[in-house]
């Protein structure tokens, strides 16, 4: 299946693996790339040395395209960007910040730039800055989210933007993949389906909890303070939401999210940690290798 995205990245299928913090290393990235998609090393939660090591490892594990996700809200973002400029992976994706100041430098080094956006204004701004493609991520996605749905984002963005648009947010099976392509997207970015892959280093308790969960277990924390984060309902989220929608001052929420991501994904505490995962939970039913996940997405397309 050929689209402008497959041509841009020289990949077989128009599928990018989301760069999830702490749990998308060279092993999962290379597995996705070897299966015909484009894997991503997630720099979030790591230092520059780790990113450099993972890029080197990925090059040992695959001769295919792979990228690096840069979290622009991270304090060490400049160190990460220095490593990316030195190592020159095929592409980078950006999240949680303004990528425009970095675009020219990366492009001059031959690195393909693909920021994640949450509305049409952002899409227009990054297109004007010269990025190669962009990801529109709807609020159905796991983790930090915007306030438009995937469908409305594609409706609003695609007619106006000339560069390739990649759909993200709640796309977890072949139906979602087909729908995004039918809307005019040149590909999809998928996180949650790969989160429960065999190659993903997320704690097994997290994978089992995701598989056990249904659509009614998806919750959003921080809506009232415009710091929306989607994940799975548990003891921690019940306590957080009770506080958020109480008469307590908003300052009472400060620091409540600190450390809960790693407590779930690394330590395996699925009641007191926070499992950030997308809304299409009913489609996430089994742990499979990345190759099988991709084949199920593209079968008969």
Token pair recorded at residue 80 = 């990460």
114: helix, strand or coil:
strand
**The CA-based dihedral angle spanning residues 58, 39, 45, 142, taken in that order and rounded to the nearest 10 degrees:** -160
pLDDT of 215 reads: 95
pLDDT of 190 reads: 97
pLDDT of 301 reads: 56
- What stretches of the chain adopt beta strand conformation (E)? 15-17, 39-42, 66-71, 91-95, 112-117, 134-137, 143-144, 165-168, 187-190, 218-221, 229-232
The answer to whether residues 270 and 158 touch, using CB atoms and an 8 Å cutoff, is: no
The answer to whether residues 117 and 137 touch, using CB atoms and an 8 Å cutoff, is: yes
Residues above pLDDT 90, as percent of the chain? 93
pLDDT of 226 reads: 86
- Digit-coded pLDDT (tens) for 54-88: 999 999 999 999 999 999 988 899 999 999 999 99
pLDDT of 300 reads: 66
The number of beta carbons lying within 10 Å of the beta carbon of residue 108 is: 9
Mean pLDDT of the chain: 95
- Digit-coded pLDDT (tens) for 168-177: 999 999 999 9
Domains with residue ranges and CATH for the chain: 4-200+283-298 (3.20.20.70), 204-281 (no CATH)
The answer to whether residues 57 and 296 touch, using CB atoms and an 8 Å cutoff, is: no
Alpha-carbon gap, residue 123 to 115, rounded angstroms: 9
Q: Residue 97's pLDDT band (boundaries 50, 70, 90)? A: confident
The answer to whether residues 193 and 153 touch, using CB atoms and an 8 Å cutoff, is: no
Residues above pLDDT 70, as percent of the chain? 99
pLDDT of 62 reads: 97
Alpha-carbon gap, residue 113 to 104, rounded angstroms: 9
pTM (2 decimals)? 0.94
Q: Which long-range contacts (CB under 8 A, 24 or more apart) does 260-267 make?
A: 260/236, 261/21, 261/22, 261/45, 262/22, 262/45, 264/203, 264/205, 264/206, 265/22, 265/23, 265/202, 265/203, 265/206, 266/22, 266/203, 267/203
- What stretches of 77-168 adopt beta strand conformation (E)? 91-95, 112-117, 134-137, 143-144, 165-168
pLDDT at 1 over 90: no
- Digit-coded pLDDT (tens) for 221-239: 999 988 899 999 999 999 9
The answer to whether residues 15 and 22 touch, using CB atoms and an 8 Å cutoff, is: no
Q: Across residues 125-140, what is the average pLDDT?
A: 96
């Amino acid at each position: 299946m050929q689209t402008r995205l497959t041509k841009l990245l020289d990949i077989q299928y128009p599928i990018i693996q989301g760069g999830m913090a702490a749990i998308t290393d060279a092993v999962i990235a290379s597995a996705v790339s070897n299966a015909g998609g484009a894997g991503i090393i997630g720099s979030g939660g790591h230092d520059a040395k780790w990113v450099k090591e993972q890029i080197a490892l990925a090059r040992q594990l695959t001769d295919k395209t792979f990228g690096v996700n840069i979290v622009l809200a991270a304090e060490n973002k400049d160190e990460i960007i220095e490593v990316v400029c030195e190592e020159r992976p095929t592409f980078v994706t950006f999240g949680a910040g303004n990528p425009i100041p970095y675009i020219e430098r990366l492009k001059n080094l031959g690195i393909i730039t693909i920021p994640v956006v949450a509305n049409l204004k952002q899409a227009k701004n990054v297109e004007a800055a010269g990025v190669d493609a962009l990801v529109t991520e709807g609020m159905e996605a796991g983790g930090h989210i915007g306030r438009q749905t995937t469908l409305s984002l594609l409706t609003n963005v695609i007619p106006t933007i000339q560069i390739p648009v990649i759909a993200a947010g709640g796309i977890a099976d072949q139906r979602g993949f087909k729908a995004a392509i039918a809307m005019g997207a040149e590909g999809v970015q998928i996180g949650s389906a790969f989160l429960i892959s065999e190659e993903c280093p997320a704690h097994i308790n997290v994978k089992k909890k995701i598989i056990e969960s249904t659509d009614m277990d998806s919750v959003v924390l921080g809506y009232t303070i415009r710091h929306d984060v989607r994940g799975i309902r548990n003891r921690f989220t019940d306590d957080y939401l009770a506080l958020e929608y109480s008469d307590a001052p908003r300052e009472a929420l400060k620091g409540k999210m600190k450390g809960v991501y790693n407590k779930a994904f690394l330590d395996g505490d699925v009641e007191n940690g926070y499992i950030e995962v997308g809304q299409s939970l009913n489609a996430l039913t089994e742990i499979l290798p990345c190759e099988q996940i991709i084949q199920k997405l593209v079968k008969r397309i």
